[in-house]
Amino acid sequence: MTLPVDVQRDGAVRPARLGGMSMVARRLGARETGVFLALMVMCAFLAFTTDSFLTTTNILNVGRQISLLGIMAVGMTFVLISGEIDLSVGSTYALGGLGTGMLIISGWPLLPALGVGLLLGMGVGLVAGLLSTYGRLPSLIATLGLMSVIRGTALLMTDGQPVTVNLRNGADPAVLERFLALGQGRVFDLVPMQLVFFIGVALVGWVLLARTGFGFRVYAVGGSPKAARVSGIHVETVKIAAFIIMGFLAALAGILSMAFLPSGQAGRTGLGLELDVIAAVVVGGASLAGGSGSILGTVLGVLIIGVLRNGLVLSGVSPFTQEVMIGLVIIVAVAIDRWSVRASRN
């Protein structure tokens, strides 16, 4: 739920009174409700037009398929609400997963290998945040450049060769078994581990964004950086923290992907993934202008993207047509976002 704020005459940002901000709260709630209703209509349509959509196997399959996208979308929610954007997440996804995989086949224990992979992602986020704040580069340009830098770094690190995590390449059997369980395991032999990670990340992200002072500062910075700075909020620190969260979650998703299908190539892994991540968050109601959005909306947006893709596959729609339809959904979502911003200003 978006935390409403009032910008006082002295420039301070304070929690808004419920009466004064009820209209804004209702509008934001309506956006999430609209996304939820669209998801329900889509599910109802697919339930009537296909025989396998509502089966347990297919629902859990959809949950697994959206999990990695959802984990990254939670991080992108922080970045977009803070008023920035990150185009380097696909490359960070590849770097974190491939880096962890290389360490495992080099004989590293599991926890240190995972830690290094996550630190790589956080390091990328730190660099992106510094360039976008103290470097005074637009985050679009800074992360666009980082996207190529990180992708090139991954290619140099792997010498352009595929990375396959298996016993033949030197992985310790016990380490390999535990690593693969992160991506291929199932809780109670039913719920995919990737879905469990997504649910956990979403819950932590919701608490952090909606129930802590840090979350309030993220909204304040995205809504009005000048007013936030006057009120004593260190704008640069908040934005850098948002980028670090994004880098951490992108690397986590890359590691889980490598654990599910233990092979990847730096030139292909995560290619174009940043567009799907941004699309899911925007479809969920986050504004590209910053200052609004929620984890709940992001989860709904991820579900819409996942259910749409799954439904198109079940309906026998060609992959080429699927890309057209997903693109149209993104265009409509961004258009609604821009119209909503203009309407609120008027």
pLDDT in tens, 242-294: 999 999 999 999 999 999 999 999 999 999 899 889 989 998 888 888 888 99
pLDDT of residue 315: 83
User: For residue 22, what pLDDT is reported?
Assistant: 44
Write down the CATH number for the domain with range 5-14+24-345: 1.10.3470
Helices 193-210 and 213-223: angle between axes, nearest 10 degrees: 70
3-state SS of 166-192?
A: CCCCCCCHHHHHHHHHHHHCEECCCEE
| The pLDDT of residue 218 | 96
Question: Which pLDDT band holds residue 34 (cuts at 50, 70, 90)?
Answer: confident
- Picking from 182-196, 244-258, 324-338, which range would have the lowest pLDDT averaged per residue? 324-338
What pLDDT, on a 0 to 100 scale, did the predictor assign at position 343? 63
pTM over 0.85: yes
Taking 60 as the threshold, does the pLDDT of residue 336 lie above it? yes
pLDDT at residue 94, rounded to an integer: 96
d(CA 137, CA 24): 31
- Collapsed DSSP state (helix, strand, coil) of residue 345: helix
Torsional sign, CA 137, 141, 147, 150: negative
Query: What pLDDT does residue 312 have?
Result: 87
The mean pLDDT of 39-59, rounded to a whole number, is 89
pLDDT of 16 above 70: no
**CB contact at 8 A, 304 and 39:** yes
Nearest residue to 80 via CA among 276, 278, 274, 297: 278
3-class SS at 134? Answer: coil
What distances in angstroms separate CA 314 from CA 10, 124, 309, 322, one per listed residue? 57, 38, 9, 12
What span, in angstroms and rounded, lies between the C-alpha atoms of 240 and 221? Answer: 12
